[in-house]
Amino acid sequence: KGMRKTLYFKDDDSRLSFLQGNFITMTNMRKKDIERIIKYRISPLNVSVHTTNPSLRKKMLGNKNAGNIMSILKHLCDNGIHLNCQIVLCRGINDGEELKNTIRDLFSLYPAIKNVAVVPVGMTRYREGLYPLMPYDPESSKDVIDIIEGFQNDIYPKVKDMFVRAADEFYIMAGCDMHGPEYYDGYPQLEDGIGMITNFMENIKYSLKNLKPVKLNKTVSVVTGVLPYNYIKQTCDMIEQKISGLHINIYKIENNFFGGGITVTGLLTGKDIIGQLTGKNLGEKLIMPSNLLKHGEDVLLDDVTLSDIERKLGVSAAISKFDGSDLIDTI
């Protein structure tokens, strides 16, 4: 309850996958729908695969039509449709040997399938009556990374392409260093959280390198989720060192709306931001990343608007691109 109305609509439309990057499961696809994709060259498509094991995919998606995913993908690939795939991992269910088999199956369709993103399932506090999932911890996150990087070590010499990558969340949870920008090859999976931290930090470094010495006596505040807090603090420290007189307050917002298991910034709500920043020293401006907002609108997940935040907190709110490329200009 309490979210934007459009978030209650379950979308699995191939046209929106092509136009807006939505991931689809293809469980509602009839033969004529598949042929329409081919006829009108609706490509590339973004597909939530999760597993290529037919019985496991039926179980995970709760859909009797979910098991034929490989035959659908192969038919699309054979007819010139390019695909980006996503695997949402549930600990102890579709990781381990199941993940290895899924990666092998998807790589058999390379290069029509060129990118596979592996991300951890988001576990909200609303789980009554649902399957008892376990969150990833440092050890299990490292296991996922080891599997993926093992495939990369085998695949890259053959095709000069990583093919499959793990989300930044796995590296943070495992306590592993992020890869450099060359590893992400132009960041094709950025909105899946693949390379987002590296891209952000590289953009900040580039902006600072080209910034002339400047004095700016002001205080601003930056909003971040729990997961990337240390990286955001590191980059803000770099900015403060370069800009004399600038002070940046970094506020780590706990996700009370969805629960503490959701730690990414993009799923924060306006109510949590307002509730946790009321009475805080926010300075002249409150800066928030663009991935908090509905595309093209100044509204957050819970229907709270930027003007609501400004009115409640008594501060000017500014939006910075989530990749950090305009953060210094926004400050």
Do 188 and 206 sit in the same domain of this protein? Answer: no
- Choose the weakest-confidence range: 23-32, 95-104, 302-311: 23-32
Higher pLDDT: 293 or 1? It is 293
For the chain, how many structural domains are there in total? 2
> Range of 261's domain?
201-330
pTM of the model: 0.91
285-289/316-320 β-pairing: parallel
Q: Are residues 187 and 208 in the same domain?
A: no
In this structure, the answer to whether residues 29 and 119 fall within a common structural domain is yes
Instruction: Based on the fold, state whether residues 190 and 205 are members of the same structural domain.
Output: no
What's the longest Cα–Cα distance across the chain? 63
Q: What is the pLDDT of residue 295?
A: 84
Domain endpoint, select from 194, 215, 246:
194
Residues 124 and 210 in one domain: no
Same domain membership, residue 279 and residue 171: no
- For residue 278, pLDDT beyond 50: yes
Say if residue 189 is in the same domain as residue 205.
no
Do residues 70 and 104 touch, judged by C-beta distance below 8 A?
A: no
pLDDT digits (tens, 9 = 90+) for 119-175: 999 999 988 888 999 999 999 999 999 999 999 999 999 999 999 999 999 999 999
In the predicted structure, residue 227 carries a pLDDT above the cut 70: yes
Q: How far apart are CA 203 and CA 205, in angstroms?
A: 5
What is the sign of the dihedral through the CA atoms of 217, 223, 228 and 229? positive
Q: Are 69 and 34 in contact (CB under 8 A)?
A: no
Are 35 and 176 within one domain?
yes
Position 301 scores a pLDDT of 95
| Residue 8 reports pLDDT greater than 70 | no
**For position 188, what pLDDT does the model report?**
92
Return the minimum-mean-pLDDT range out of 7-11, 160-164, 302-306.
7-11
189 and 282 both lie in a single domain: no
Match 């609509």 to its residue by tokens.
9
Q: What percent of the chain has a predicted confidence (pLDDT) above 90? A: 87
